[in-house]
Structure 1
Amino acid sequence: MAFMKTLLLIDGSSYLYRAFHAMPDLRSPQGEPTGAIYGMVNMLARLCKEVRFDYSACIFDAKGKTFRDELYPEYKANRPSMPTDLAAQIATVHEVVRASGWPLLMVDGVEADDVIGTLARQAAAEGMQVIISTGDKDMAQLVTPQVTLVNTMTNETLDEAGVKEKFGVPPTRIIDYLTLIGDKVDNVPGVDKCGPKTAVKWLEEYDSLDGVIAHAANVGGKVGENLRTALEWLPRGRELITIKCDVALAAELPAGMESLLHGERNLPRLAELFSECGFRTFLREVQQAMGAAEPAAEVVAEAPAAQPASSGDLFGATTDLFAEPPAPAANPAVPAATQLARHYETILDDAQLEAWLQKLAAADIVSLDTETTSLDPMQARIVGLSFAIEPGHAAYLPLAHRGPDAPQQLERDATLARLKPWLEDAGKKKLGQNLKYDRHVLANHGITLRGVADDTLLASYVIESHLRHNMDDLASRHLGETTVSYEEICGKGAKQIGFDEVAVDVAANYAAEDADITLRLNQYFAPLLTGRLLSVYRDIELPVAEVLFKMERNGVLIDRDILAAQSHQLGSEMLRLEQETYALAGQPFNLNSPKQLQEILFGKLGIPTKGVKKTPSGGFSTDEEVLEKLALDYPLPKLILQYRSLAKLKSTYTDKLPTLINPQTGRVHTNYAQAVAITGRLASNDPNLQNIPVRTAEGRRVREAFVATPGYVIVSADYSQIELRIMAHLSGDEGMLAAFASGEDIHKATAAEVFGVPLAEVSGEQRRAAKAINFGLIYGMGKYGLASQLGISNDAAQQYIDSYFRKYPGVADYMQRTRVAAAEQGYVETVFGRRLYLPEIRAANQARRAGAERAAINAPMQGTAADLIKLAMLAVQGWLEAEQLQSKLIMQVHDELVLEVAEAELAQVRERLPQLMAGAAALKVPLLAEVGVGPSWEAAH
């Protein structure tokens, strides 16, 4: 019996939009957008690899109106216009599709859906099997025993049973179903308030749309009224929803279905296109293919060995971009599934463990994940480990699940001992998602993780710092996968159970998926990390993660007694302020109640409300910004601000820090998050050591409790005026460069120019104003902000700014260049190549766009400062280890490094530390680090 042949139809317009939105803002060497092109190449490559077919076509919407626009002028009226960056890529996408051998169709007057529907019907009539690759729900109406839908974004395959399960109605009723609920995307009205459940109920009861219309009088309630109101519209809605399956295609298919045979690759043209786009990996593969061809041959006779997915698969599957189209399936009547096959194993006995130890030893790289008892990395203990060695192939090793139904598991300590040689082997490459946490967990069991080659959290952060980087979001955004969440298997809130209480079979699927998805994400990110981005990832973020692990492990010693005394003092001062506020208010009230404070300020005391912003409920705000303005004229708001400041200090630090002391180490261990701040700066939490207020005496005293171990001292090293130095480097302003080169006081130099006085006669007040100008302008501050900060008129502020730019014209030029570059490419860069994306830089809203422009000016300085302190950490840690010193890094706060230094090593550290920090990078101006020493952190300043 002859097997049916298969036609693969690709909804190119759907692919195009999905590729555009899934990819980061990639640019060609000429600055042109290329993300959609890159995504299309990968998505088509995956289809070519995974779906077996005899004929194929990639169908796009043609320009201009269709018959539906004539039928209903408001059709798709709600859709925003195509993004400019996407429109700019369409012509190249079409060229790449054709050059890759895919037949491409666009037919005027109809949509891509109609062409797909017509081809599907014709192919089925000729006895073919049809696979439609799309994410469009409207296509479900085309499903028959011979027509199947696949969605590569969600790895979903829909046959007749699948359509019924997903929508509640069979494919033959999809048109009726969609007509009733309407289509907001295409602006096709349905029956108001008729959702999917109601539509399914009506169709089950009355069989069809015609049946629903015929029995409309019998439908009760408000939705019944809405149905009767829509009766005149519904036939036209059905016509708009219905895919046209009789489009004339004779001109497009001169040889019938034979016109849709997959063509030969035009390798020279692909090489030109990929070169223009800057797709280095793709270009290299084309060149290899061209080099492998016989001189007279036009097509590669034998494709090069398959590259890992890092060479270009948008959704993580391993693809060979220039492989020949797959041979027809042995039985094309059963379409090949596009979802990546998963082989997840649970390791429960010695034989399985031994087999996996051999797999781990033989693998080029292994994705590793730990499941634990706690999110606290210093306290967490291992419940199980998962491994993935290739996409879709992973295993879970349960070691400490408990409960009456838990199966017999391998003994934890003995099993970890067997894994330890591999885990500690620097030659065996491992990857993971936030492996700094896993390092801690393994360290809690006496294992030092070595051989860390990749971390998907950090790769994502370097590529797209402005987005979220948790694994679930990454899987959805880049692989089209909906992963099992922790809450799904452990629950939420008070009912949440520990991972060790999860059933092993459930835990195995979750944990193995984590390792598998992480491996696939790593393959996806690899081709995106090129040039300077690769350097930021390999030379900064990955090695810094190891330094942070060691710093977190070191922790910092906290003196409980000092904090207890400070808490008592703060409490007494708060009581005094409370009594003063009662006296001024003329009555006691709750200082922490915005409502009561509002009544006192604006009601009883009659403070004018003009210019005071309102709360969402319509009252007047008493937030910090409002109180600061009122405090300039009224004493009560000033006291409230003082009270709030002390209350926050007490609750956040002096009361809380002692509760965070680790009982095993006697020290506080903060967590440094690398992938949070868009600029590249580290974030500290549990506790946050970077937000201790140091502008008040009470805040600075908190640092007195951060002390050294007996025999050690605290050493603090802080970069001096680092962002101004970076501005000098970036702008190349001659005056600023000269001032720093000569060691001149930059603030005094600015003051002399702005206030028109000799350098020697600059007053302290003038220097403070110049400092505000220097730092304000690099933060993008305008005349209004400067006027507010200095308490001067807007005109005076503008004069100061004009004087500043006369002295430093290169800074003004840099700012303008940066605004233009940011608008053109959507991001700015640090000195070292870190990209800082600005999503609002092209916003239509002027205020949001202006905010993005201010950020564009400052971000390269903040980002470069962040890179510098990280490079300094690497240099200092490397030196400490090379010299085998007992001194250790214990904190990083903004531009400052804090060490606990053995007294015997103090002279050595004091000399070398500022040299290492100053030498972290070579800029056009010298870097300067100022060092302080003392028994406490505060004393070291």
Structure 2
Amino acid sequence: MNRKNIVLVDGSSMLRNAFFGLPSNGARGIQNLILKLLESKEADFLAVAFDSKTEGSCKEMYKNTAVYEGLLKEEERLREALVSLDIPVLDKEGYASADILASLAKRCQEEEGEILLLSGERKLLQAVEEHVTLKIPVVKEGGLEFKSYSVELIREEFGLEPESLAGVFALAGDWGIGDKTACQLIREYHNVENIYDHIEEIGSQRIKEALTGNQEAVKQQEEFASLRRDCDIHLDYTKTIEQAEIQKIIDMDFVPAVFPGEGEEPSLESGFHAVTDLSEAETIFLKCGEGCRLGLQLVVEDKAVSALSLCLSETECYCFIPAGELSPQYLAEKAEEICKRAGRTTVLHLKSQLAFLKLTLDSPVFDAGVAGYLLDPLKDSYEYNDLAEDYLDLSIPSKTELIGKSSFKRALEENREKAVSCICYMSYVALKCHDLLHESLVKESMDKLFYEIEMPLIYSLFHMEEAGIRVERERLKEYGDRLKVRIAELEQKIYEETGETFNINSPKQLGEVLFDRMKIPGGKKTKTGYSTAADVLEKLAPDWPAVNLILDYRQLTKLNSTYADGLAAYIGPDERIHGTFNQTITATGRISSTEPNLQNIPVRVELGREIRKVFVPQEGCRFVDADYSQIELRVLAHMSGDQRLIDAYRQAEDIHAITASQVFHVPLNEVTPLQRRNAKAVNFGIVYGISSFGLSEGLSITRKEASEYISKYFETYPGVKTFLDDLVSEAKEQGYAVSMFGRRRPVPELKSLNFMQRSFGERVAMNSPIQGTAADIIKIAMIRVDNALRKQGLKSRIVLQVHDELLIEAYQNEVDKVKELLAEEMKHAANLAVSLEVEANVGDSWFDAK
């Protein structure tokens, strides 16, 4: 039996896309699309679905406006045209057009149909199956194109099955989480509910805050993003479209929409050229004279040069491909030479190219990706296509769209044309974006931050990655063995305490054991069972030994998988780990580390801290470690200008005891350990905009008591209260929070109609200036220390940066000098009303030096 080609069009979403900006205008564009489909004989049967009046995803947004009225007229016009052509028009009360299509696709597929869905709604990706394909319109430079999604492409692009995508669409919303991060979270935790059950396990503080502050909105978005397939609509798709009906459409009086290939301007790619000849390359290199301005990208993969791209103008963009005498080494040398003599070179991801470019701080190089990050730190990606869309108003294909997951080297062999386009786009966008990015940095008063902190930091991070840190394999193995023994002991103790054997790693089984069989009060029931998230268990731990053991078990199993087993994979032939340090990930400006993440080592248990023992200096060296003491509280004192808090720090005594003495009105020498603990929680909590609810949870006290603590704190330090209130007001007015050094953090949540989102936004507005300033200070310190070591001709190098801490591998004869230099440069990284205090220690492992 021949399978029929059934085309189902999402009229509502396609019409919205056409109406609100795609290069096909309203009903005429959809009419033309249908004509194209029928002329190409892609459809044996065709139907068009529309939202019902109660389920329109767009209509409510535009109610009682001219825009809404215009959209309605276009819809009426399109419906009339379809009816006159005898094309089925579908809608059903209570159902969105996407739900109608998903329901029909399922039914038609079962009845031996090849289904093609056309929609502007990404949510319909969930309906893709073996015989169901989705085409989504995308705007390219040449006009409107349709991207075709099969199950295989969805798996490749998202790393997930289609049915898992509702969670991705819910997470990738207005809260600063992009598709890439959303996919990663769903791959790890499977669904949104499970993510919230394990929220404390998420390493990124920015992602954790975004999720916590928008929980209700995310869950509502997940519900909206889910497809319904229960719409009871049946079609007689046995009636195929005849040629006479096609002619009827052709004869209709509609103005054709612009489609690719019809009256196109010369494409951008026409200015892209592949170069494999040495003499041609040298002719081009001669054009890059003294003081020229250009875009450059040295493509580095697996510690080797795969290609070089140079863009001199709109029509002169070259991709140099290694071949014969045009060797990778020659291209690297030429790229370095050009950068050094150019008046300005703009690149993307400079750090990844420095191993071959060998530039210094005084080189006139501009990193467009880092500039893009500073201007919008909430984005997930700053690739060439992101910058083109944001600053050039240009929609161009991404690397994935052009060459998939292939390496550039392989793509240049197998799909040269697309690989050359991709590589040329990098230098083209870099060149074209420079002036716009620079002007934006100046306009937003972040040019000094960019040129004096972020650009120099690239070089310091590269030096640190290049140095790497030594890990002793045998010690790591011994540590892993000890962990496994301790994990096995904890398992047995948990079984004894709970009275049964079960899978401790299964949230469902664990919840049933704790809350059903052991009858522990305080269980939170979710759709998938009881929540066993860290915040739930931590409240129960003091009173239930089994829960305390489970928390320890989780810490140790994470240590085992992530560090004891995981670190070994990163140790290179030189017995060192050369991790990656990222400066464009966090919204607050903090540096993060990946491959591996050394900034998230669990320290709740002693064994967690002991992982530092496996990190050791090379022979003839020792570690010198220094970190800032309470840097964020000191920044708060300075930025708030509260004299009492400043004086408390200037007394150089225990700040938490002083705060307890002042808040609880007791002499300093009579402050109890409990009062100090509570004051410490308030001190640090204030920095993070803590609420009375958050403090009550953390201290296990009533909300009323917590509220009184916070009130007393603000009575004691009234300047802090005024400062924090002003931060929120300013962020509401400006749309962003700003650090002492001008770093901006957009806070769109402050304008949300959702109370939880607004509350989250207020916490961000209070915390970001403090945390951002602290992040800037450690960056300045790192640059100063790195430069001082080199300037003084010392061989010692920074090998690790973790939050407010720097670790240096110092040669034995340089230890004393390095210790003094490290403390001195860190102390003077910023001039605050209270001094920056630094404690430096020396040891034969990271553990000993900490």
Q: How far is the alpha carbon of 1:468 from its aligned partner?
A: 3.2
How big is each residue's C-alpha offset from its partner over 1:525-572, in whole Å with a ceiling of 9 and x where there is no partner?
121011630001101000101110000000001111211111111100
Is the contact between residue 294 and residue 310 of structure 2 (CA under 8 Å) also seen in structure 1? yes
Partner of 1:933: 842
Counterpart secondary structure, 1:691? coil
Is the contact between residue 273 and residue 317 of structure 2 (CA under 8 Å) also seen in structure 1? yes
Is the contact between residue 420 and residue 447 of structure 1 (CA under 8 Å) also seen in structure 2? no
Q: How far is the alpha carbon of 1:788 from its aligned partner?
A: 2.1
How big is each residue's C-alpha offset from its partner over 1:34-76, in whole Å with a ceiling of 9 and x where there is no partner?
xxxxxxxxxxxxxxxxxxxxxxxxxxxxxxxxxxxxxxxxx99
Q: Distance in 1 between matches of 2:418 and 2:269?
A: 18
How big is each residue's C-alpha offset from its partner over 1:178-233, in whole Å with a ceiling of 9 and x where there is no partner?
998689756899xxxxxxxxxxxxx9xxxx977853574xx68x95999xxx9xxx
Aligned pairs for 1:23-34 within 5 A: none
Partner of 2:682: 773
Q: Distance in 1 between matches of 2:21 and 2:509?
A: 58
Partner of 1:504: 416
Partner of 1:912: 821
Partner of 1:422: 337
Q: Distance in 2 between matches of 1:384 and 1:474?
A: 21
Amino acid at match of 1:388: C
Q: How far is the alpha carbon of 1:497 from its aligned partner?
A: 9.2
Partner of 1:530: 442
Matched, 1:718 2:590: no
Partner of 1:345: 273
Q: 2:394 aligns with which of 481, 484, 487?
A: 481
Q: How far is the alpha carbon of 1:367 from its aligned partner?
A: 1.6
Partner of 1:603: 516
Matched, 1:799 2:689: no
Q: Distance in 1 between matches of 2:627 and 2:319?
A: 46
Matched, 1:213 2:83: yes
Matched, 1:433 2:367: no
Q: Distance in 2 between matches of 1:637 and 1:225?
A: 51
Q: How far is the alpha carbon of 1:138 from its aligned partner?
A: 2.5
Amino acid at match of 1:348: T
Counterpart secondary structure, 1:672? strand
Matched, 1:661 2:571: yes
Partner of 2:178: none
Q: Distance in 2 between matches of 1:800 and 1:418?
A: 63
Task: Give the total of aligned pairs.
Answer: 643
Is the contact between residue 398 and residue 409 of structure 1 (CA under 8 Å) also seen in structure 2? no
Partner of 1:387: 310
Matched, 1:670 2:579: yes
Is the alpha carbon distance of 1:570 and 1:762 closer, same or farther for their aligned partners in structure 2, counting shifts above 3 Å?
Answer: same
Q: Distance in 1 between matches of 2:310 and 2:846?
A: 43
Partner of 1:457: 369
Partner of 1:614: 525
Is the contact between residue 472 and residue 614 of structure 2 (CA under 8 Å) also seen in structure 1? yes
How big is each residue's C-alpha offset from its partner over 1:816-875, in whole Å with a ceiling of 9 and x where there is no partner?
111111111111111111111111012111121111111111111100000000111111
Q: 2:541 aligns with which of 631, 638, 641?
A: 631
Q: How far is the alpha carbon of 1:439 from its aligned partner?
A: 1.7
Q: Distance in 1 between matches of 2:464 and 2:34?
A: 53
Q: Distance in 1 between matches of 2:35 and 2:353?
A: 39
Q: How far is the alpha carbon of 1:519 from its aligned partner?
A: 1.8
Q: How far is the alpha carbon of 1:518 from its aligned partner?
A: 2.2
Amino acid at match of 1:597: L
How big is each residue's C-alpha offset from its partner over 1:453-479, in whole Å with a ceiling of 9 and x where there is no partner?
211111111111122332222322332
Is the contact between residue 300 and residue 353 of structure 2 (CA under 8 Å) also seen in structure 1? no
Amino acid at match of 1:856: A
Is the alpha carbon distance of 1:741 and 1:587 closer, same or farther for their aligned partners in structure 2, counting shifts above 3 Å?
Answer: closer
Q: How far is the alpha carbon of 1:353 from its aligned partner?
A: 0.5
How big is each residue's C-alpha offset from its partner over 1:335-358, in whole Å with a ceiling of 9 and x where there is no partner?
994976741111121221111111
Matched, 1:580 2:493: yes
Q: Which has the higher mean CA deviation after the structures are superposed, 924-933 or 739-748?
A: 739-748
Is the alpha carbon distance of 1:545 and 1:591 closer, same or farther for their aligned partners in structure 2, counting shifts above 3 Å?
Answer: same
Is the contact between residue 424 and residue 448 of structure 1 (CA under 8 Å) also seen in structure 2? no
Q: 1:640 aligns with which of 538, 547, 550?
A: 550
Q: Distance in 2 between matches of 1:167 and 1:847?
A: 47
Q: Distance in 2 between matches of 1:210 and 1:134?
A: 23
Q: Distance in 2 between matches of 1:225 and 1:918?
A: 69
Is the alpha carbon distance of 1:760 and 1:438 closer, same or farther for their aligned partners in structure 2, counting shifts above 3 Å?
Answer: same
Partner of 1:815: 724
Is the alpha carbon distance of 1:614 and 1:479 closer, same or farther for their aligned partners in structure 2, counting shifts above 3 Å?
Answer: farther
Q: 1:892 aligns with which of 801, 807, 814?
A: 801
How big is each residue's C-alpha offset from its partner over 1:601-634, in whole Å with a ceiling of 9 and x where there is no partner?
23333334xx5333343x2122222222332333
Partner of 1:19: none
Partner of 1:302: none
Q: Distance in 1 between matches of 2:314 and 2:607?
A: 55
Is the contact between residue 555 and residue 890 of structure 1 (CA under 8 Å) also seen in structure 2? yes
Counterpart secondary structure, 1:369? strand
Amino acid at match of 1:347: V
Q: Distance in 1 between matches of 2:439 and 2:764?
A: 28
Counterpart secondary structure, 1:930? strand
Q: Which has the higher mean CA deviation after the structures are superposed, 901-910 or 580-589?
A: 580-589
Partner of 2:661: 752
Q: How far is the alpha carbon of 1:140 from its aligned partner?
A: 8.0
Q: Distance in 2 between matches of 1:827 and 1:883?
A: 41
Q: Which has the higher mean CA deviation after the structures are superposed, 754-763 or 418-427?
A: 418-427
Amino acid at match of 2:467: N
Partner of 1:43: none
Partner of 2:284: 356
Q: How far is the alpha carbon of 1:645 from its aligned partner?
A: 0.8
Partner of 1:589: 502
Instruction: Compare CA radii of gyration and give the structure with the larger one.
Output: 1
Q: How far is the alpha carbon of 1:573 from its aligned partner?
A: 0.8
Percent identical residues: 34
Q: Distance in 2 between matches of 1:914 and 1:655?
A: 35
Is the contact between residue 875 and residue 920 of structure 1 (CA under 8 Å) also seen in structure 2? yes
Q: How far is the alpha carbon of 1:794 from its aligned partner?
A: 2.4
Is the alpha carbon distance of 1:489 and 1:210 closer, same or farther for their aligned partners in structure 2, counting shifts above 3 Å?
Answer: closer
Matched, 1:397 2:311: no
Is the contact between residue 751 and residue 767 of structure 1 (CA under 8 Å) also seen in structure 2? yes
Is the contact between residue 728 and residue 737 of structure 1 (CA under 8 Å) also seen in structure 2? yes
Counterpart secondary structure, 1:607? coil
Q: 1:704 aligns with which of 610, 613, 627?
A: 613
Is the contact between residue 716 and residue 899 of structure 1 (CA under 8 Å) also seen in structure 2? yes
Partner of 2:737: 828
